[in-house]
Amino acid sequence: MPKNPAEKKPVVLKPPSVHPKNKLNALTGNEWLFFTKSVLRTSYPHVLGHKLRREQGGNKPPQLMQHIIEFFTKPGQSVLDPFAGVGGTLLGASLCGRKATGIEINPRWIDIYRRVCEQEGIEGQETLVGDCLAVLPELAAAGRTFDFIATDPPYSIALEKTMCDGVYDIQHRKTDFDRYSDDAADFRNLATFAEFYDAIERAFALTYPLLHEGGYLAVIIRDSYQGGRYIPATYHIAERIERGGYILKGMKVWYATGARVRPYGYPNVYVPNIVHQNIAIFRKGEPAKHAKQREKKAGNQEGV
Ligand SMILES: C[S@@+](CC[C@H](N)C(=O)[O-])C[C@H]1O[C@@H](n2cnc3c(N)ncnc32)[C@H](O)[C@@H]1O
């Protein structure tokens, strides 16, 4: 006679737990490992005031920012975003019970963030309107520090749309609203790439003293294609950020499924459809053991 399956002992799974020595976050082992994969594929629902936030063409999904923040902080810790836009990072922090401070040069975006908070019944995070190059030193002078920095700066200066003669930019515009400020200090309004990368370097160097020793910085960057040439903005920006003292620790490719594909170059030449963004992860300070290993290696090489 086959046994009655109902009589079988149920399998009891051990509840996932947080490692007692985990000083970084409140994730279980599986959640930790999942995050360390170098590719992230998502399709987040358009929620949390997306209709308002989409005015800012570079807005990031709060759920993506929550995912990143949850890895690099514990509940209650603090996050800084020096290029806050309409508040993807600020909302992401609220979703997981972290404090956040956002700096944004365009008051229009902060106004939208506040309206989203009101609409969604979310308590607003701290927002500071101004040029981050001026506001970051003020935060340092006030003795402020943060556990994590997460941001996506402008990834280039304002460029002419050259792909398919700019036709897709016009056809797919969802609003007549001018998406960018006239402020000369807005990084997008800088005249040359040289000025832009210098400004990026200055801004991230200014964040360095604000981050706790051993803390992380995550920067979302999109490469671009302009005038028939691929522009590896991630590479250039990462190099400038390292000059400020940070160490590049990894790169996650974020692919938002459903990104539009357009017939650039078809049927003549190869032109990429850039459907991903990079999340570059940096750390402040170097664990003593790595520094020692490096010194030892340098010493051995000198003897060769
Ligand atoms: C890619 S958007 C950030 C979008 C944001 N993550 C969001 O979810 O809305 C970059 C932002 O940097 C802001 N920005 C540009 N130059 C700045 C500066 N000098 N100081 C502060 N913010 C600046 C722009 O106004 C823009 O909103």
Distance from Cα 263 to the centre of ligand 1, integer Å: 29
**Closest to 53 (Cα-Cα) out of 122, 109, 123:** 109
pTM, rounded to two decimals: 0.89
Query: With contact defined as beta carbons under 8 Å apart, do 169 and 200 qualify?
Result: no
| pLDDT of 94 | 98
pLDDT: is 91 or 14 the higher one? 91
- Ligand 1 binding pocket, CB closer than 6 Å: 56, 58-60, 83, 85-89, 103-106, 109, 131-133, 152-154, 181, 185-187
Q: Which two tokens stand for residue 243?
A: 């000059």
pLDDT digits 0-9 by tens, 272-281 = 999 999 999 9
Domain boundaries, the chain: 29-303
What's the CA gap between 87 and 116, in Å, rounded? 9
Which of 3-12, 128-137, 240-249 bottoms out in mean pLDDT, i.e. has the lowest?
3-12
Max CA separation in the chain (angstroms): 83
- Indicate the pLDDT class of residue 108, thresholds 50, 70 and 90: very high
Distance from Cα 149 to the centre of ligand 1, integer Å: 14
- Indicate the pLDDT class of residue 173, thresholds 50, 70 and 90: very low
Segment 140-162 shows an average pLDDT of 90
Q: Write down the mean pLDDT value for the chain.
A: 90
Is the pLDDT confidence value at 255 over 50? yes
**Closest to 149 (Cα-Cα) out of 207, 92, 213:** 207
Superfamily of domain 29-303: Vaccinia Virus protein VP39 (3.40.50.150)
Phi, psi at 38, each rounded to 5° = -85, 0
Q: Which of 54, 108, 186, 204 to mutate to test the pocket of ligand 1 (most atoms within 8 A of CB)?
A: 186
pLDDT digits 0-9 by tens, 3-51 = 676 678 888 887 789 999 999 999 999 999 999 999 999 989 999 999 9
| pLDDT of 185 | 96
What's the CA gap between 244 and 206, in Å, rounded? 8
Segment 63-68 shows an average pLDDT of 98
